[in-house]
A and B are shown apart, each in its own frame.
Chain A
Amino acid sequence: MTAGVQRPTDPAALRRRATAAVARSAAGERAVAIVLGLVLLVGGTLVALLSYGVFGAGRASRPLLDPMIVAALQAQPLVARFAAIACGLLLTVLGIVWAAHALRPENHPDLVLGPLAAAGDTSVVVSAHAAAEAVAAQAGELPGVGRARARLVGTEAAPAMRVTLWLTDDANVRDVLARLHSEVLTTARASLELTELPVAVRLELDHPHPRPRVA
């Protein structure tokens, strides 16, 4: 799907994309931490209970590597070995996927402009950096905004903009947001040929005058 022939999306989806653009998602990492934490918590608790004889004194006094289990494994050495290899491979792949997922940099999609892309072998690509810089420069000009930074995030099919505004002392928040919406973002959507561009705005405060170190 190219940028020029986007279908209109329902407002709820746009809102979701705008909310997702607030910050890089940590949902995957949180899921890993919660699952691993639960496994360790439940396992540790069960072993401690077993060790204190809650499941019976006879069971608690058996060795950790129970001869019964060893005998069962030795009865089927090939199955046991393949099971061990499969578990090892699973752990390796899972661990590498978690680590790679957590370490990968955030995606900044470039935008392909519509009509030329549809015409054939010529296409105009606006880099994510250029598009974001244009929005940031315009937003920084608004009255009440000291400086601004923008990032294009999301995917090529569903890009979103993350804008951070550092407000000055005399800023009127309502006014700044209204002008950002009506002037900057409307221009950006028009010039990038996007019918929709969800935006997440982050408000910070500017430090206009650095304090003297010695008063």
Chain B
Amino acid sequence: MEVTDKKITDVNKNIKRKSQLYKDEQKAAIAFIIIPVIGFIVFSMIPFFISLYASFTDWNGIGQMNFIGLANYKSLFKDEYFWKTLYNTFYLMLGIPIGLMISFLLASALSRRIVGKTIFRVIYYIPVVSSLAAISILWQWAYNGDFGLVNQVLDIFGIQGPNWLQNVNTVKPAIIIMAVWKGVGYSMLLYLAAIQSVPRTFYEAAELDGANAFQRFRFITWPMVKPITFFLIVTNIIGGSQVFTEVNIMTPTGGPQYSSATVVWYLWRQAFNNWKMGYASAISVVLGLIIFIITALQFYMNRRSNYKLD
């Protein structure tokens, strides 16, 4: 009893009197944090509010802003190209589940002991770190209808490949394929780390209980990597709704009949081609709201399935 009392009073003393070390570390911490926070405020928050204000004006990008109320938003809802590009953007997000499935399979394969594991990881990760613009140009050439690589390969199998980027039906799948190819390494690496962090004891226990490989996967591996899946889905949806570079390089005019134009590409056109910066700001505000709502929904849905590890 004596020992415990003494410990408690010692601890109390330590809590009441904050040590100099604690204060110094606080100061250092604030110094480190303040720089990105200032960066965020100056480069993200303030421009966001300026853009929000601009969406209620008729700003043309270089002149002055005149307040016009909700006119931009009204014309936005009537604009058929806005809805078309929104549809295109969400269509392109079909690549997200495909990419996740492929990368999960790859990660499962690579988590076993196979020869050349590291080499495979490098090969799959190189597209991720490559410049998006360079890859878009490469794929644009590969998709060329007459002599592109993709059609040449299809030719070997006797399939006459379409003119990928010029055909209304194939341009979006073409972009999806390219985006999946580029992003699979990143998801794969995350999944690899998650799969390898599942304690082996779980699998051993399951085996003892008579679970087969599929049951082990379904009840142990998949739930354990759920946090990664959640993270990837959220970030991919946020990123996928802002696709611009690939579209601008591979289909500079928005694709055949605007079938590959995304919302961000459309608003860039309006802002810089048609002198309608106010209208473009309105589009971006609406897009931001949509992304926010979707993300909030996802977080809410995820709260109900939380796996706590002790």
Chain B binds chain A: no
| Chain B interface residues toward A at CB < 8 A | none
| Chain A interface residues toward B at CB < 8 A | none
